[in-house]
Amino acid sequence: MIIPVNLAQDSYEILLEDNALANINQAINVKRKILLVTDDGIPKQYVDKVMQQCDPVFLAIVKQGEASKSFAEYKSLLKLLVKNQFTRSDAIIALGGGVVGDLAGFVAASYMRGIDFYNIPTTLLAQVDSSVGGKTAIDFCNLKNIVGAFHQPKKVIIDPLVLETLSRRETNAGLVEAIKMAATSDANLFDLIKNNPLKENIKQIIADSLAIKIDIVQNDVKEKNLRKVLNFGHTVGHAIEVQSNYLHGECIGMGMLYFCSDQVRTKLIEILKQFNLPLKSNLSVDKIFSAILHDKKTSGDEITIVYVPEIGSYQLIDLTLDECKAKLEESQQKIASLLQNI
Ligand SMILES: NC(=O)c1ccc[n+]([C@@H]2O[C@H](COP(=O)([O-])OP(=O)(O)OC[C@H]3O[C@@H](n4cnc5c(N)ncnc54)[C@H](O)[C@@H]3O)[C@@H](O)[C@H]2O)c1
């Protein structure tokens, strides 16, 4: 299946197909220097399969985990490009999850003011969300994604079969981004995820999630307004993520429970529980709030939050910081009392 992403500038296609990894040389011009960026948790068979189809290819394997979205890794990838005399007509391929995609994408965005970037996402999170939309970034000063750029990929190649080696925990954490999009924009997708076996429906879930994301990014490439909906769960989620060892998707799942109606909160708890996702961090409201204050989404004395009144719909609400803190306290109490009854 070929899914177009139509933008005013830099439109591209997503190829979503079982076994797409075996045919990337039909989708990408590989007859030039390629830097393949991956991490040491990506099964070797996938790396080999991509390497075999590219010539010449330079391989960079970073350590798995968020810590690789760092200045140190960014710098060392740039050095590799300079040392091997990459030019504007050469390209970077990311093979991995959101960490590799965000890091390699930012290198591609900034090297020589931007070179071609191809994303081959291998986690569910990256397949349903992070590989599409052109956001690239690294973390800095304990702040997530604080340094980055918008740089659209030339193509995204999604092979759902690579998910077979992904751990159950990573799969479920990635599913949260699909649940997030369903919660704000597509009640049918929410039901599909909730009421059907995941494995048999994974390609449909990926396609439906991408349809939501594409519709949003096509209308708001640079997150001026509409695209903020994709941050549902992220205001609190990022605050949890920088202060805990939970996975990104797990944090977003817990974060979604703060800004929604009581009825939606109950439904979200049910679906998170169904996929063995954590429901509550041990962070106090004070700790969550102080991390929110440091987050780049807070501008001046106000913060825009994404609120879900019922599954499949959302509102963007501007809160003063005091109102935000009061809402956090109210929600934290409600979450605690709902969890007591489980
Ligand atoms: N750019 C965006 O729009 C956007 C959107 C959402 C999230 N993100 C970012 O994405 C990152 C999280 O990405 P993630 O959840 O994909 O985590 P990740 O990239 O850290 O990958 C998770 C783990 O899975 C392993 N792995 C990947 N593919 C595998 C496979 N097929 N089989 C076995 N193991 C595999 C990796 O080695 C890693 O250990 C965060 O940094 C977050 O900020 C970016």
Whether residue 310 is contained in a domain is answered as yes
Q: Are residues 318 and 186 in the same domain?
A: yes
pLDDT at 259 over 70: yes
Q: Which residues pair with 136 in a beta bridge?
A: 149
* 245 falls within a domain: yes
Active site residue 135: yes
* Residue 194 included in any domain: yes
Q: What count of other Cβ atoms lies within 10 Å of the Cβ of residue 221?
A: 18
The CA distance from 226 to 61, in Å, is: 36
Task: Please say which residue of 132, 165, 198 terminates a domain.
Answer: 165
Q: CA angle, corner 164, sides to 163 and 167, nearest 5?
A: 80
In 207-325 the beta strands, taken as DSSP E runs, fall at: 298-299, 302-307, 315-320
Q: Is residue 40 part of a domain?
A: yes
Chosen domain end from 142, 165, 188: 165
Region 22-26 average pLDDT: 96
Structure tokens at 66: 């968020």
Query: Is 287 known to be catalytic?
Result: no
- The Cα 219–Cα 224 span in angstroms is 10
pLDDT over 80 (residue 320): yes
pLDDT of residue 184: 97
On whether both 243 and 97 belong to a single domain, the answer is: no
Does 196 lie in the same domain as 61?
A: no
- Average pLDDT rounded to a whole number, residues 57-62: 98
- Among 114, 136, 165, where does a domain finish? 165
Say how many Å lie between the CA of residue 179 and the centre of ligand 1: 16
Q: Which domain holds residue 155?
A: 2-165
CATH number of domain containing 44: 3.40.50.1970
On whether both 221 and 328 belong to a single domain, the answer is yes
Establish if 171 belongs to a structural domain. no
Which residue carries 């093979």 as its tokens? 95
In this structure, are 69 and 148 located in the same domain?
A: yes
Structure-token pair, residue 188: 């049918």
If asked whether residues 9 and 111 sit together in one domain, one would say yes
Cα 340 to middle of ligand 1, angstroms: 32
How confident is the model over 58-86, as a mean pLDDT?
Answer: 97
Q: How far is the CA of 100 from the centre of ligand 1 (A)?
A: 7
Confidence tier at 298 by pLDDT (50, 70, 90)? low
Residue of 6, 83, 113, 245 marked catalytic: 113
- The percentage of the chain sitting over the pLDDT mark of 70, rounded to a whole number, equals 99
Say how many Å lie between the CA of residue 55 and the centre of ligand 1: 26
The domain total for the chain is 2
pLDDT digits (tens, 9 = 90+) for 321-342: 999 999 999 999 999 999 997 7
Q: Is residue 172 part of a domain?
A: no
Residue nearest to atom 20 of ligand 1 (CA): 65
Q: Are residues 156 and 235 in the same domain?
A: no
40 plus 159 within the same structural domain: yes
Given 3-state DSSP classes, what are the helix, strand and coil percentages for the chain, each rounded to the nearest 5? 50, 20, 30
Q: Is residue 13 part of a domain?
A: yes
Output the residue whose Cα is nearest ligand 1's atom 44. Answer: 130
State which ligand 1 atom lies nearest to the alpha carbon of 102: 1
Residues 229 and 136 in one domain: no
Does the active-site annotation cover 245?
no
Among 21, 99, 171, say which to mutate for ligand 1: greatest number of ligand atoms within 8 Å of CB. 99
Q: How far is the CA of 123 from the centre of ligand 1 (A)?
A: 6
Q: What 3 state SS string does 88-148 have?
A: CCCEEEEEECHHHHHHHHHHHHHHHHCCEEEEEECCHHHHHHHCCCCEEEEEECCEEEEEE
Q: What integer pLDDT is reported at residue 276 of this predicted model?
A: 97
44 plus 138 within the same structural domain:
yes
User: 170 lies in a domain?
Assistant: no
Residue 207's CATH number: 1.20.1090.10
Respond yes or no: is residue 170 known to be catalytic.
Answer: no
Q: Which residue has the tokens 């063995």?
A: 276
Cβ partners under 8 Å of residue 290, min gap 6: none
231 is known as an active-site residue: yes
Residues 100 and 225 in one domain: no
Q: DSSP label at 260? A: B
Query: Pocket residues for ligand 1 (CB within 6 Å)?
Result: 39, 41-43, 64-66, 69, 96-100, 102, 122-123, 125-126, 129-130, 133, 135, 144-145, 162-163, 165-166, 170, 174, 248-249
Query: pTM of this prediction?
Result: 0.95
Ligand 1 centre to CA of 81 (Å) is 23
Is residue 14 domain-shared with residue 151, that is, in the same domain?
yes
SS3 (DSSP) at 44 = helix
User: CB–CB of 298/228 below 8 Å?
Assistant: no
